[in-house]
Amino acid sequence: MKEEGGDEILKLSPSQSKICNLKSKVSMGMKILFLDQTGKLGGAELSLLEIARQYRETSLVGLFEDGLFRQALEQQQVPVNVLANRSIQVRKDSGLWQSLGSLGQLLPLVYRVAQLSRSYDLIYTNTQKALVVGALASAISRCPMVYHLRDILSVEHFSRTNRGLAISLANRFAVRVIANSEATRAAFIEAGGRADLVQVIYNGFELSLYDTPDPAPEITRRQLELNDRFVVGHFSRLSPWKGQHILIEALAHCPDNVVAILVGDALFGEQDYVKQLHQQVKALGLSDRVQFLGFRKEVISLIAACDLVAHTSTAPEPFGRVIVEAMLCGTPVVAADAGGAVELVSPGKTGWLTPPGDVLKLASVIQDCQKMPEKAAAIAHQAQIDARERFDTMQIQQQIQACLQKIR
Ligand code: UDP
């Protein structure tokens, strides 16, 4: 398992550097103050990295916490500043009193962001806490604010207080809300968000990075001693709602030559869940069939080395980057039938969908893919074509640029 701050994250491949240089030339010179609450590298941050790269000549990313995300931004020459000296102590499920208790910490940050934003055309908030700070700062400085909504604002994910706060601030202060899927858009509106504010723009992916995975899949398989076993990959932070336990249980219903690699780490303190997963593996006698690989920077080569990627979230996924990543790699993918995943996968054409939490259905798809490799490969090939058409970062950047230009 890599330590936070390990060197591995800092290396840019030659192709990534080339892309970085090319992209900076396409930037339109808009001055944007991006805000994100975390220093960790989750899906929201990886997606923001892709966007911020385009504006790196003129913009700044403000973080409320230091970490790998700051290093990744610096590595791609995106100006970044850690604006707070300790992370904000409010969680998605925090109630009113906990949220109010954090005001003392928030206010100096709001003031700092308000001051900073006077030198920018736009405040671009990427997470919930960033929205709170960005909205209040925007009210002070009159700098317009955009909210990139990457969460399904439902009771499964958020306390009533936090949901209400997000909706009120977005309705009152955002000039635009960019939703990362139709599912996040619908949940926003259902929770009281203004429909006229929201536009759906999917995550973009740099297609060339998927052309030749490095190292090649067979090398990765050899390194991990996977040999000719049927490998199911799971790529996500370790968290109960990401459902790694569902895949482990499904594995127990599959033949012995089906194995799993779990790629990702507990990013937000879910250590009890990690312990549970290890216990589950042991209790089911799967110790030689499940590998925990920890957080990896190099997911593309690992995804390409899998026979199937499983996405097993038990609550609706806002977007599901890993599903698109598997499609781009040409690796068959089975996803939980809810939220944004439904917009990414056409069942039977570009992948499989199984009901969230349904262990037996998942086990059955895994075995079908194992028994019918030609069919699985044909579906994965179609998925690759589809994903290349729909999620090309250049196209997505143009949509974002067009959206932001209208605000100026
Ligand atoms: N990921 C990664 N290293 C890991 C595990 C996951 O880089 O060890 C990436 C994964 O490839 C995907 C992102 O983290 O791009 C997770 O995004 P997703 O939308 O699947 O979930 P989120 O973290 O936003 O809930």
Alpha helices in 306-358 (DSSP H): 321-329, 341-344
Between 249 and 24, the more confident residue is 249
Banded pLDDT at 56 (limits 50, 70, 90): very high
The residue ranges of every structural domain in the chain are 14-204+393-406, 208-390
With a 6 Å cutoff on the Cβ, whether 60 touches ligand 1 is no
Check for a shared fold between 14-204+393-406 and 208-390: yes
pLDDT at residue 274, as a whole number: 97
Instruction: Look over the chain and give the mean of its residue pLDDT values, rounded to a whole number.
Output: 91
Assign domain 208-390 one CATH number from 3.30.2310.20, 3.40.50.2000, 3.40.50.1820, 3.30.70.1560.
3.40.50.2000
Per-residue pLDDT for 367 more than 70? yes
Cα(234) to centroid of ligand 1, in Å? Answer: 10
Q: How far is CA 331 from CA 36, 201, 379, in A?
A: 31, 24, 9
Banded pLDDT at 404 (limits 50, 70, 90): very high
Q: With H, G, I as helix, E, B as strand and everything else as coil, classify residue 82.
A: strand
Cα(407) to centroid of ligand 1, in Å? Answer: 30
With a 6 Å cutoff on the Cβ, whether 320 touches ligand 1 is yes
**Listed residue (92, 73, 209) closest to 162, CA to CA:** 92
- pTM beyond 0.85: the answer is yes
Per-residue pLDDT for 1 more than 50? no
With a 6 Å cutoff on the Cβ, whether 263 touches ligand 1 is yes
Q: How far apart are CA 336 and CA 25, in angstroms?
A: 39
Cα(206) to centroid of ligand 1, in Å? Answer: 15
Q: Residues 69, 45: contact at Cβ < 8 Å?
A: yes
Is the omega angle on the peptide bond into residue 356 within 30 degrees of 0, that is, cis? no
Burial call 321-355: b when 16+ CB within 10 Å, e when fewer: bbbbbbbbbbbbbbbbbbbbbbbbbeeeebbbbbe
Per-residue pLDDT for 279 more than 80? yes
For the stretch 87-123, pLDDT in tens is: 666 666 666 556 656 667 789 999 999 999 999 999 9
Cα(43) to centroid of ligand 1, in Å? Answer: 5
With a 6 Å cutoff on the Cβ, whether 266 touches ligand 1 is no
For the stretch 187-239, pLDDT in tens is: 999 999 999 999 999 999 999 999 999 999 999 999 999 989 999 999 999 99
Per-residue pLDDT for 24 more than 80? no
pLDDT at residue 86, as a whole number: 67
Best substitution site from 321, 327, 328 to test ligand 1's pocket, by max atoms within 8 Å of Cβ? 321
Q: With H, G, I as helix, E, B as strand and everything else as coil, classify residue 1.
A: coil
Q: How far apart are CA 84 and CA 26, in angstroms?
A: 31
With a 6 Å cutoff on the Cβ, whether 55 touches ligand 1 is no
Q: Work out the percent of the chain whose per-residue pLDDT is above 70.
A: 88
* Residue 273 dihedral angles phi and psi, to the nearest 5°: -65, -40
pLDDT at residue 12, as a whole number: 42
With a 6 Å cutoff on the Cβ, whether 291 touches ligand 1 is no
| Mean pLDDT, rounded, for 261-271 | 91
Residue-by-residue DSSP string for 91-135? -TT--HHHHHHTHHHHHHHHHHHHHHHTTSSEEEE-SHHHHHHHH
With a 6 Å cutoff on the Cβ, whether 46 touches ligand 1 is yes
Asked if the 14-204+393-406 domain carries CATH number 3.40.50.300, the reply is no
**Burial status of residue 275 (CB atoms within 10 A of its CB: 0-12, 13-18, 19 or more):** exposed
Per-residue pLDDT for 27 more than 80? no
Atom number in ligand 1 closest to CA 265: 8
